[in-house]
Amino acid sequence: MQSNIIIGNHYLSNNFGSYIVLNYIRKDKNRRFVFNIRFDKTGYETEVNSLDIKSGEIKDYLLPNFLNIGYIEKPINFFEDREIYKKLITNWENILNRCYNKEYKYYSVYGGKNITVNRKWHSFWNFYNDVQLLPNWDKQKFLKGIIELDKDFKQQNIKNKIYSNNTCMWLSKHDNRGFTINVYKKLILGISPDGKNYKFQNMERFAQENNLTSPNIYQCLQDSDLRHKGWRFVYIQKEIL
């Protein structure tokens, strides 16, 4: 094999530390030798050609390089929708900044209040895939800035909130801002299909106890004509005294 790259040797990338060359794979369309490598620090494996090895321009996508917490995990060509990619990566960086960057303008009301991000979402690849499966996701509304990622709706009355695929959902910008300000002070009346009345404040807990879903309860509160499994819901007073 006509190459100066030696199998089993360690080489140093420009910005992502050292790696070992595991084995030779093939020649690419430009007749360059392609190798499988593994970064020493994270164990990330990828294929690179001999020119990349010699230049040192190789990236470890598992290395936390955003606030020493966030990492991309996959090269950009793995992300199918570049338009969504560009906007979601800004969202992801903003969330990490709020929770972990003490110099960030909103840190005091996020990280300063013990709000964190689930370790799974330290990977942008996981974040990118998960948030598009959350309740109320709509690509066009997201791109137009109509909906926002919300962590509060599913974590009412929980002190140490967390951003995760189990605790977040999408809300309209209006609902998201209004919910944060007002929802914790509102008392709700739930009227069951058989006409019984139930007063409660925590939607998530009430939904779990009655085989309902909190997003549907919230939608009923916004439109008095809507029903959720035969239930009707209304606000009965603005504040709990």
Domain 186-237 has CATH 1.20.1250.20: no
Using one digit for the tens of pLDDT, what is the confidence trace for 1-13?
Answer: 456 899 999 999 9
Radius of gyration of the chain from its Cα atoms, rounded to whole angstroms: 24
What is the predicted pLDDT for the residue at 180? 54
What digits encode the pLDDT tens for the residues 69-103? 999 999 999 999 999 999 999 999 999 999 999 99
Domain limits, the chain: 10-55, 76-181, 186-237
Tokens, residue 207: 């939904």
- Average of per-residue pLDDT values in the chain: 90
Separation CA 101–CA 108 (nearest Å):
10
Average pLDDT over residues 153-178: 86
Tokens standing for 127?
């974040």
Residue type, 190: G
The letter for the amino acid at 78 is F
What percent of the chain has pLDDT above 70?
Answer: 93
Cite the DSSP H helix spans in the chain.
50-55, 82-100, 124-131, 139-143, 173-182, 203-209, 214-222
Beta bridge partners of 123: 71
Question: Mean pLDDT, to the nearest integer, of 132-152?
Answer: 95
